[in-house]
Amino acid sequence: MKSLALIGTLVLMTAATNCWAYGSSSSTKSCDKPRFSDFNPAEKSEVPAQSAFSFSASGVSDPNSIKVTVKKQPVELIINEKGIGYEVSGNLPENLSDTYARIAISADGRNRCKGTDGWLVKITD
């Protein structure tokens, strides 16, 4: 009797394991977020007012959706295709001096996935 109960338990455990072996049948594709790198000037560096900045955006970025703000002020950008991604550059707003500011980046990628990043600089006179 005990061996019959043991065999029954093993059969049920095996069946349950097989049921969980397969992933979900979700038909949605994974999100491919834009990535950003090569920040210039470097994080937490001191820069004069109206300094130029640049960074690289991955190839999954929609170049028309790349936006940069500095202290919530939009910045005009120059976007050039470079290899499998984009080189993005601009200048800090002229009315910012003697302050810390975050250069905040946002962009849309494939499947409308949004990527965000940024870095902090100290703006001097």
| pLDDT tens-digit series, residues 61-111 | 999 999 999 999 999 999 999 999 999 999 999 999 999 999 999 999 988
* Spatial contact of 74 and 67, defined as CB atoms under 8 Å apart: yes
Task: Give this prediction's pTM.
Answer: 0.75
CA 124 to chain centre: 29
**pLDDT band at 14, cuts 50/70/90?**
low
Three-class DSSP category at 5: helix
CATH 2.60.40.1220 fits 36-124, yes or no: yes
* Spatial contact of 104 and 114, defined as CB atoms under 8 Å apart: no
